[in-house]
Amino acid sequence: MRNKRTLYLRYLGLSSIIIFMIGPLIWMILTSLKEPARIFTQFFPSPIRWENYIEVLNKVTFLKQYWNSIYIAVLVTLFVLLFASMAGYAFARINFPGKNIIFILLLSVMMIPPEVTIIPLFLFMRDLNLVNTHIPLILLPVFGAPGAFGVFLMRQFFIAIPKELEEAAIMDGCSKFRIYWRIMLPLSIPALSTLTIFTFLTNWDEFLYPLIFINSRELMTLPIGLSLFTDETGTAWHHLMSATTLATIPLLIVFFFAQKKFIEGMTAGSIK
């Protein structure tokens, strides 16, 4: 009897907290389907107005910003995967002078806050005429905290792989690069996928760099574009909520299918 009661209490406690976590997103989706005139008078949309989405998707800047966000996050992730796994492999498996000092130095990158380096970087990019281009948005995360975290994660993973697997290849006279590319990389797919999720999500959310480096609308990424959406058309709630829904749903769908990997990727990043 007592157990039943604690179970009900548990459901009650959890539900009252969870309302604040999924409630806002449900409200966002419901609002995105309402007619503009009825946004404040109804809770459930009726009639459902799908046109909101079509209208948002017809905004050229929104689609461009969406595309910018996707391709920048993909490029950053690819570069991080490549460079971090290369460096991680060298730190784990190759003996060369200076290795330990350099490794500690690379790790210290994780504690340099981007807020400190952003001013010189802005002046630097301005002198190279790279302000208002995507180049800083791609380069800075790769060679910043996400990249450094990747090196650390990959090194830890490579260290745990048994040496015997490589030794046979060394006997056959394989070069280091071939060992890395043909043997180590395929073995490290679990670590690479964790790193992929972590890098992609943090980059999808990146706010400071695009805010500072980009000033034309077509070149903005989604977070900045959406935050300005609020300012300009403050009253078009239905459009704004369609836009934020479109920015959220793809990630949530992937999350539901690869939940375990997602949680691993996100927590791996916060433990660093």
Partner 1 sequence: MTKTKLIRRKKISNKLGDTIGGWLFISPMLLGFTIFMFGPLLYAFYISLHDWPLLGESFFTGFENYQNLVKDNSFKNSLIVTLLFSLGLVPLNITLAMFLAVLLKDKFWGIGFFRTAIFVPVVTSLIVWAIVWKYLLAPELGFINQFLGLFGIEGPSWLLNKSTALPAVIIVSVIKNVGLNMILFLTAMQQVPEELYEAAELDGASAFRKFRNVTFPLITPTIFLTMIITTIGAMKIFGQVYVMTRGGPGESTKVLVYYIWETAFKLFDMGYASALAFVLFFILLAFTILSWVVRKRWVFYEE
Do residues 66 and 222 lie in contact, with contact meaning Cβ atoms separated by under 8 Å?
Answer: yes
- Residues 12 and 17: their CA atoms lie apart, in Å, by 9
- Residues 255 and 200: their CA atoms lie apart, in Å, by 12
**Contact flag: residue 168 with partner 1 (CB under 8 A):** no
Q: By rule CB under 8 A, what count of residues binds partner 1? A: 88
Binding residue for partner 1, selected from 63, 70, 106, 131, defined by CB under 8 A: 106
Nearest to 183 by CA among 93, 252, 48: 93
Binding residue for partner 1, selected from 180, 198, 200, 209, defined by CB under 8 A: 180
Task: Read off the tokens for 200.
Answer: 């992609």
Q: Which is nearer to partner 1, 49 or 154 (CB)?
A: 154
Q: Shortest Cβ distance from residue 263 to partner 1 (Å)?
A: 6
**Contact flag: residue 119 with partner 1 (CB under 8 A):** yes
Do residues 219 and 68 lie in contact, with contact meaning Cβ atoms separated by under 8 Å?
Answer: yes
- Residues 71 and 135: their CA atoms lie apart, in Å, by 12
Q: Which residue do the tokens 């910043």 mark?
A: 144
- Binding segment (CB under 8 A) for partner 1, from list 44-52, 127-135, 161-169, 258-266: 258-266
Q: Shortest Cβ distance from residue 5 to partner 1 (Å)?
A: 13
- Binding segment (CB under 8 A) for partner 1, from list 53-61, 141-149, 160-168, 187-195: 141-149
- Residue type for position 31: T
**Contact flag: residue 78 with partner 1 (CB under 8 A):** no
**Contact flag: residue 178 with partner 1 (CB under 8 A):** no
Q: Shortest Cβ distance from residue 218 to partner 1 (Å)?
A: 19
- Residues 160 and 196: their CA atoms lie apart, in Å, by 20
**Contact flag: residue 121 with partner 1 (CB under 8 A):** yes
Q: Shortest Cβ distance from residue 247 to partner 1 (Å)?
A: 6
Q: Shortest Cβ distance from residue 140 to partner 1 (Å)?
A: 6
Q: Residues 124, 225, 116, 108: is their CA dihedral positive or negative?
A: negative
Nearest to 242 by CA among 35, 85, 13, 87: 35
Q: Which is nearer to partner 1, 47 or 97 (CB)?
A: 97
- Residues 69 and 142: their CA atoms lie apart, in Å, by 15
Q: Which residue do the tokens 């007619």 mark?
A: 35
Of residues 205-234, which lie at the interface with partner 1 (CB under 8 A)? 205, 207-208, 211-212, 222-223, 226-227, 229-230
Binding residue for partner 1, selected from 78, 161, 187, 266, defined by CB under 8 A: 266
Binding residue for partner 1, selected from 56, 137, 201, 236, defined by CB under 8 A: 201
